[in-house]
Structure 1
Amino acid sequence: MIYTCTMNPAIDLFTEFEHFAPFVVNRSTQEDYQANGKAINISFILKKIGIDSTATGFLGGFTGDFIESELRKKSIGVDFIKVDGITRINTFIRSGDKEYKAVNKGPEISQTAQEKLLQNLQMLTEEDMLFVSGSLPKGIKDEIFVEIAKLSRKQSFQLILDISSDRLIDCLDYQPFLIKPNDEELAQLLGVPAFKTDEGLVAGAKKMLDLGAERVLVSRGEKGALYVDKENILFTTAPKGKVVNTACAGDTMLGVFAGKMLQTNNLETALVSATAAGSSTAFSAGLSDLKDVPQLKEQIQLRKVVV
C-alpha cells in the first residue's frame, strides 16, 4: 500500500484580480479553492495515473473537513489524526504580471497527536511505501523526520522524502528509498554554492548516495531533472511553455516518477513522464490534469551519463 504523509496541509485559495490595490475593496474575477499539501498533492497525482493511496497527517476544523472531503471525492483513502485548531488557508493572488503569496502557519500540533502518527506508521511493513513531504506545523520539531526514517529502516517500508529540513542529512543514515531535493536545496544541504555545472550537480547527488540515500531525484525547474542511483545517471531537459505556478510542480514530478516506476519498472519512461508532468503543472493554475503530458514528452531529451 502507498501512504502519503502531510503534516501541515492547507486549503490553497487562488484568486485573480484586474487590479489589486491597498486600503480598498478588491473584487476577484476568478477564484478556486484546492485541497493542498505536498504529500496530499502526490495522492491526487497518483490517482490521476490510476494508483491508489491513503493520505495521512494532521487535520483540524472546517478546513480539515473540506480537505478530507475532497480526497474522498477522488476515492483516495484518508487516515488523518484530528487535532484542535483550524487547518490553514493559503492565499495566492494574481493581478496582471504580479503574484502575491500569503502562507499561514496552521494549528499547533500536540505531542499526543505526534505520538499517535508515529504509532500508526509503526504498522507499515515491507509491502508499503510512504511519501513524507512538506513543511512542519507549529509544535513539531524536525526530529520527527529522523524518527520516521528510523521506523522505515526498522519496519522495512520504502520511504520517499521531499523535505527542505537540514535534518534530511540525518535521515540518510537509515537509507531512504528516494529523496527529491531541488538543485538549490541540494546545494544548501551540502553547504556549497549553487551548482554551476552538470558535473557539480551529479557530484552533489552522489554525495547523497554516499551518505545513505538509495536514489536521488533532483528537480531543476526549467532545466529539467536529474536522477542518480549507484548504477544510473540520467538527465532530462524540460519542455517549453508559459509558467503559471510552480508551487505543485515538484509534487507532480515526484508522484508521477514513483508511480510510473511502479507501473512500468522502466527508469527512462518514469523520468521523462515525470519531467513532462511536472512541467504540465507548472503551466497550470493548480495540479495538472496531465492531458498534455504526451505532447510535452515529445519535447524532452533524455541523456545518460556513464557511471
Structure 2
Amino acid sequence: MIYTCTMNPAIDLFTKFEHFKPHVVNRSVFEDYQANGKTINISFMLKKMGIDSVAIGFLGGFTGRYIEEELRKTGIRTDFVSIEGITRINTFIKAEAHEYKAVNRGPEISASAQEQLIGKISRLGPEDILFVSGSLPRGVQDSILKKISELSRKNGFDLILDVSSKTLLSCLEDQPYLIKPSDEELAAWLDVDPLSFDNEENLITAAEKLLKKGAQRILVSRGEKGTMYADREHLLFTSAPKGEVVNTACAGDTLLGTFIGSLIQNKRLEDALIFATAAGSSTAFTAGLSDLKDVPELMKQIQLTSNLKGVRES
C-alpha cells in the first residue's frame, strides 16, 4: 500500500485580485478553497491516476474535519492522528504580475501524538511505500525524519522524502528510495549558491554527492528550467512547457506524485519524467491541482536529454 504522510497540512485559499493594495479593502474576483498539504496533494494526484493511497499525519479542529471529508469524498482512505488545536489555513493571492503567499505556522503537536504517528509508520513493511513531504509543525523536531528513515531501513518499506530540512542528509545513510529537492533546497543542503546550478555540470556534481551518501534516486524540480532525474545508471533532464503561471504552490507535489505513479504503472523512466514534468506545469498553470486533461498537449513541448553514462562514479 502507498501511504502519504503530511505532518503540517492546511486548507489553502487561492484568491485573485485586479489590484492588491495596503490600507484599503481589496475585493477578490476569484477564490477557491482546497484541502492541502504536500503529501495530501500527492494522494489526490495518485487518485487522478487511478492509484489508491492512505493519507496519514496530524489533523485538528473544523479545518481538519474539512480536509478529511475532502479526501474521503474522492475515495482516499485516511488514518490521521487527531490533535488539539486547529489545522492551519494558508492564503495565496494573485494580483497583476505578483503572487503573494501567506503561510501560517499551525498548531503545536504533542509528544503523545507524535508517538502515535511513529507507531502507525512502524507497522509498514516491504510491500509499502511512504511519502513524507513538507514542513514540520510546531513541537515536532527534525529528528522525527531520521526516526522514519531508520524504520524504512529496518522494516524494508520504500521511503520518498520531499523535505527542506538538512536532517535529510543524515537520512541518506538509510538509503531512501527517492528524494525530491528543488534546486534551491539542494543548494542549501550543500552550502552552495543556487545560481551555480544554472550550469548543469554543477547540478550533476551535487546529485553525485547525495547518491554517494546513500540516496537511491534524486528528482530535482527546477521551475521554469524543467526537471532533473539521477540515479547510478541514469541522468535525465527535461525542459518545461510554456504557459501562464497562476500558482506554483502545488507544482512540485504534482511532479513527484505523478512521477512515482507513472513508475508504479510501469511506464518507462523517460516517459514517466516527461509526463510528470507536464503534470507539474499543468498544476502551475491553474489555481489548484491539475486535472491532467492538458498534459498530453504539454508533453509535446517538452524536450528530454539523457546522459547515457548515468551519474559518474568516482
Q: Verify same fold: TM over 0.5.
A: yes
Letter in 2 for 1:238: A
For structure 2, which runs of at least 5 residues remain unmatched after alignment?
310-314
Q: 2:17·2:27 contact (CA, 8 Å) conserved in 1?
A: yes
TM superposition shift of 1:16: 1.9
For residue 312 of structure 2, what is the aligned residue in structure 1?
none
Write out per-residue CA displacement over residues 174-193 of structure 1, whole angstroms, 9 at most, x where no aligned residue.
Answer: 00000000111111111122
Letter in 2 for 1:66: Y
Question: Superposition pairs for residues 1-307 of structure 1, below 5 Å?
Answer: 1-194=1-194, 195-307=197-309
Distance 1:164 1:306 in 2: 30
For structure 1, which runs of at least 5 residues remain unmatched after alignment?
none
| 194-203 vs 217-226, greater mean Cα deviation | 194-203
Write out per-residue CA displacement over residues 269-297 of structure 1, whole angstroms, 9 at most, x where no aligned residue.
Answer: 11110111111111111111111000011
| 15-24 vs 153-162, greater mean Cα deviation | 15-24
TM superposition shift of 1:200: 1.1
Distance 1:220 1:301 in 2: 14
Q: 2:7·2:134 contact (CA, 8 Å) conserved in 1?
A: yes
Q: 2:94·2:246 contact (CA, 8 Å) conserved in 1?
A: no
Identity %: 65
Letter in 1 for 2:216: E
TM superposition shift of 1:95: 2.4
TM superposition shift of 1:31: 1.1
Write out per-residue CA displacement over residues 39-78 of structure 1, whole angstroms, 9 at most, x where no aligned residue.
Answer: 0000000001110000000000000000000000100010
TM superposition shift of 1:255: 0.3
Distance 2:307 2:12 in 1: 39
TM superposition shift of 1:25: 3.0
Structure 2 length as normaliser, TM-score? 0.96
SS in 2 for 1:242: coil
Distance 1:65 1:133 in 2: 21
TM superposition shift of 1:23: 3.1
Distance 2:19 2:180 in 1: 37
Letter in 2 for 1:110: S
Structure 1 length as normaliser, TM-score? 0.98
SS in 1 for 2:165: coil
